[in-house]
Amino acid sequence: MSEQNSRGGDDAYEHHGGFPVYEPVKAGPNFGRFVDVFRRLQDLAVSTHAPDDVVDQAIAQAEALGDLLEPYKVGEGKSPAGFNVDIPGRGSLLLPPWTIEKFDADGVRERGHFRRYHLGGNGAVHGGTIPLLFDDLFGMVIHASGRPIARTGYLHVNYRKITPLWDELVVEGRVDSVDGRKAFCSAELRDLDGTVLADSEALMIELLPGQP
């Protein structure tokens, strides 16, 4: 049960817009390895040129794997994928394999790398992957700041340097200012020398009750 707040409203309802209140789904001890295996397959799927008979074998084995897992499909919020901060990318294959190292009201910092799967052109990370990293970070920045759930109104990215694959990198973001429902956020993606590879500004808009 959620509690009434000082304004006579319902905290869980006001905090979550139209989102359900998800119960975290704890990953089993081998779920991190499960995700790693699929990340390897993602890399291989975009970086191999195998003979047709090998491709046929891969299809057969992948279909068998799909058949094994299909009976265990669950709805949104019921899988450990995306909800486990101990696993890079929180266990979500959509997200690059980054790990949270700071999560508080001042901001959120993550460390990680991009892989072959994230390749754009000529050795650089795909330009669409970097907004994904920032967008997800801003969602966590809002959560860490203690503000109600918000959606991205806009996300602006400046690509300052080529972002390399595989190198360890750091991204850090925070809420700069708040105006009613609007939280203006910023973040930078840096290499370990501190060079800014990309930076971003976003408007995160607090959801009203019932907004999806």
**Binding region for ligand MFK (CB under 6 A):** 22, 135, 139, 151-154, 180-182, 203, 205, 207-208, 211
Cβ nearer to ligand MFK, comparing 62 with 186:
186
Cβ nearer to ligand MFK, comparing 125 with 203:
203
In whole angstroms, the minimum distance from the beta carbon of 145 to ligand MFK comes to 13
In whole angstroms, the minimum distance from the beta carbon of 147 to ligand MFK comes to 11
Cβ nearer to ligand MFK, comparing 195 with 211:
211
In whole angstroms, the minimum distance from the beta carbon of 186 to ligand MFK comes to 15
In whole angstroms, the minimum distance from the beta carbon of 21 to ligand MFK comes to 9
Going by C-beta distance under 8 Å and a sequence separation of 6 or more, which residues neighbour residue 127?
A: 120, 159
What are 3's strand-pairing partners? none
Cβ nearer to ligand MFK, comparing 72 with 154:
154
**Nearest-CB residue for ligand MFK:** 139
In whole angstroms, the minimum distance from the beta carbon of 139 to ligand MFK comes to 3
Cβ nearer to ligand MFK, comparing 10 with 201:
201
